[in-house]
Copies of this chain bind each other. A is one copy, B any other.
Amino acid sequence: METNNLPKLHSDFSVDCVVFGFDKGELKIILIERAEEPFKDYLALPGNLVNDNEDIDQAADRVLSELTGLHDVYMEQLYTFGDVNRHPQGRVITVAYFSLIKIKKQTLNPLSSYARKAQWVSISDIPKLAFDHSKILDKAYKRLQSGIRYQPIGFELLPEKFTLSQLQQLYEVILEKPIDKRNFRKKILSFGLLIELDEKQKNVSHRAAKLYKFNKSRYNNLKKMGFSFEL
């Protein structure tokens, strides 16, 4: 990596986005391949500097769109990383954002030339990332693991209609441990947050399973009354 000839920045802010998706039984995140120094050719989280005239939340939206082609992705702040030496060109404090989305297409289209491409990468295949992005990803993954135990955020990652097996698989993949099928079904159904549909899986070789939907309005009502979900 060649960093000596790069201009030094003054203090600057950036945003970095950790976008999780779930596809074919795998938890994935979006990574870009950097076309420019520093960390040329490395994989990195979609991220860039914040412009002078934009709020940081707006910057996160813009940067994610420019680097992936995705629009209107709901993101929450994750954490701010501000070690003195985290960026080779000078002091850059980065605000990391966190998102869970339904993967609709595998092909992402970077509009900015500094990302050679953007892609979904399985969480189990991730190499050492550019900058301190491995540390940022680690923080995001821990937030996902603890979040899924108390809030029904897992549904954000599933298609609108899903089977109980898919839901269980999602929990197993995120929590990195096997879950007892009977207990899981009993517990998850006891919350009354799933709507059983009059519909079954299609195009499967095995016996087609029943499909369910997440009852978001019921969850929002329960939450207002102080209900808490815990798995």
Contacts and interface: CB of A to CB of B under 8 A. Distances in A.
A172 interface: no
| Most central of A54, A57, A228 by chain B CB within 10 Å | A228
Copies in the complex: 2
Contacts of A91: 52
A228 B228 CA distance: 12
A86 to B, nearest CB: 9
A160 interface: no
Interface stretch (A37-45, A74-82, A206-214): A74-82
Contact of A93 (B53, B56, B150): B56
A11 B52 contact: yes
B77 A95 contact: no
Interface in A188-231: 228, 230
A55 B84 contact: yes
Nearest to A56: B82
Interface string A82-123: 111000000101010000000000000000000000000000
Interface residues of A, number: 25
Contact of A13 (B59, B93, B228): B93
A24 interface: no
A12 interface: yes
A10 interface: yes
B80 A95 contact: yes
A149 interface: yes
A82 B53 contact: no
Nearest to A50: B82
Contacts of A82: 13, 50, 55-57, 59, 95
A149 B228 contact: yes
26 contacts: A10-B10, A10-B11, A11-B12, A11-B13, A11-B52, A13-B13, A13-B82, A50-B82, A52-B91, A53-B84, A54-B84, A55-B82, A55-B83, A55-B84, A56-B80, A56-B82, A56-B83, A56-B93, A57-B82, A77-B80, A80-B80, A80-B95, A93-B93, A93-B95, A149-B228, A150-B150
